[in-house]
Amino acid sequence: MESHNVNNSSNLDMEKDQETAFDYSKRAQWLRAAVLGANDGLVTTASLMMGVGAIKPDVKTMMLTGFAGLVAGACSMAIGEFVSVYSQYDIEVAQMKRDNGGEIDKEKLPSPIKAATASAFAFSIGAIVPLLAAAFVKTYKVRIGVIVAAVTLALVMFGWLGAVFGKAPVVKSSARVLIGGWLAMAVTYGLTKLVASHGMS
């Protein structure tokens, strides 16, 4: 009898441990997705501002470009995430109907609206960094330097967070994110300046 109780207790403990591990895994995936979304917002907006800044160095043009990038990017991310998660929602509903005789457990279903909102919010958080960095600097060269410095710090932070949530090597992950961000800004700046000087003369 005692052995039976002990077995039941150990089984319950194992189930709790599995549920906890599942919850942690699910949260880690969401957090990692949020970090990646913020990184997208950061790199996209900074690259746009650097590219336009290569030919239009005034602060107003750069800020408007960055703001347009933030809005367009956030909307694009939200719509893409909504469509993707809604497809997953439909698949899981169909699976539940087959497995449970038509019954649907709504608590286990993904939320397209929550996913879209989270994606847009994450992108906007990243996009705000270069906008805030450039907002109060009137001198062009100083503004570019401040943007690069702010974006560099944010890239390192996002790389570190992504590595932690993805259980990847921190230094390598941060370096990849940092170099990728630098490369995106440099390519956008260089190609925009090239096209402006040769293709639009």
pLDDT tens, residue by residue, 109-141: 888 888 889 889 999 999 999 999 999 888 998
Is the whole-model pTM more than 0.85? Answer: no
Distance, CA of 23 to CA of 21 (rounded, Å)? 5
Where residue 188 falls (left for φ over 0; alpha for ψ -120 to 50; beta otherwise) is alpha
Highest mean pLDDT among 44-48, 55-59, 117-121, 168-172: 44-48
What is the tally of helices (H) and strands (E) in the chain? 5, 0
Query: Closest Cα to residue 84, out of 148, 27, 37?
Result: 37
Does position 189 have pLDDT exceeding 70, yes or no?
Answer: yes
Decide which of 14 and 41 is more confident.
41
How do the domains of the chain map onto residue ranges? 33-194
